[in-house]
């Protein structure tokens, strides 16, 4: 009989703990998740962007918006495919996966000295590019290291962007030359 009372008491305690976790801890986790804002790499209005620069593997591509039409200005002077422009701008739309290192002693460990590629944007009012330097993939290859040029902070961004950007070369534009 004594054993039955102890078991009922322990079951009661377990139910109270379960109710507490369900009602309070779970609600806090949801509040924390809802309150986290996506931190974007650069805040910009897509319509205000006038120039895009992509530098990778010794090649530089300059895209410029002229009279509402995107043009590839370097290495040629031909109209640009809107899908390519949207893809280039998408890296800035989704933001940072998470910060990694605020003051790294060596950027080589992140593949950022020098970076594997650079992607820059320039708005109509800007005199220079806002440049994102993209380096190595992280160990599980789901993200890659990056930093805003001139900033010490190393961040993670999705590796899909890097994969897409590395595929852009002269052959991407073979129909437009």
For residue 1, what pLDDT band results from cuts at 50, 70 and 90? low
Residue located via tokens 């594997």: 116
64-98 per-position pLDDT tens digit: 999 989 998 988 888 988 888 887 887 776 667 78
Residues 112 and 155: their CA atoms lie apart, in Å, by 11
Same domain, 50 and 115: yes
Tell me how crowded residue 8 is: count the other CB atoms within 10 A of its CB. Answer: 10
Residue 23 sits in the same domain as residue 71: no
Q: Please give the span between the terminal C-alpha atoms of the chain, in angstroms, as a whole number.
A: 90
Determine, yes or no, domain membership for 57: yes
Task: Decide if 28 is inside a domain.
Answer: yes
Does the residue 41 lie in any domain? no
How far is residue 117's CA from residue 96's CA, in Å, rounded to a whole number?
A: 17
Domain that holds residue 22: 1-36
Does residue 81 sit in the same domain as residue 105?
yes
Based on the domain organization, do 150 and 75 belong to the same domain?
Answer: yes
Task: Name the domain count of the chain.
Answer: 2
Do 23 and 57 belong to one domain? no
| One domain for residues 50 and 119 | yes
Q: Let me know whether 97 and 14 are in one domain.
A: no
| 154 and 88 in a common domain | yes
Residues 16 and 99 in one domain: no
pTM of the model: 0.72
What gap in Å lies between CA 159 and CA 88, rounded to an integer?
14
> Does the residue 156 lie in any domain?
yes
- Residues 28, 85, single domain; the answer is no
Is the separation of the CB atoms in 96 and 145 below 8 Å? no
Assign residue 109 the CATH number of its domain: 2.60.40
Mean pLDDT of 5-25: 64
Distance CA 138, CA 142 (A): 7
Per-residue pLDDT of 86-139, as tens digits, reads: 878 877 766 677 888 999 999 999 999 999 999 999 998 889 999 999 999 999
CB atoms within 10 A of CB 153: 14
């Amino acid at each position: 009989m004594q054993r039955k009372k102890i078991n009922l008491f322990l079951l009661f305690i377990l139910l109270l703990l379960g109710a507490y976790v369900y009602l309070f801890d779970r609600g806090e986790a949801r509040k924390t998740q809802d309150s986290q804002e996506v931190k974007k790499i650069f805040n910009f209005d897509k319509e205000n962007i006038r120039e895009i620069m992509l530098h990778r593997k010794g090649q530089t591509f300059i895209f410029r918006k002229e009279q509402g039409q995107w043009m590839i200005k370097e290495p040629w002077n031909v109209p640009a495919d809107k899908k390519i422009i949207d893809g280039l701008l998408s890296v800035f739309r989704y933001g940072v996966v998470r910060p990694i290192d605020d003051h790294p002693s060596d950027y080589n460990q992140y593949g950022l000295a020098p970076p594997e590629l650079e992607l820059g944007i320039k708005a109509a009012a800007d005199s220079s590019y806002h440049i994102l330097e993209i380096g190595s993939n992280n160990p599980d290859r789901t993200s890659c290291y990056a930093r805003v040029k001139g900033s010490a902070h190393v961040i993670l961004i999705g590796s899909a962007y890097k994969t897409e950007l590395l595929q852009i070369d002269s052959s991407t534009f073979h129909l437009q030359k």
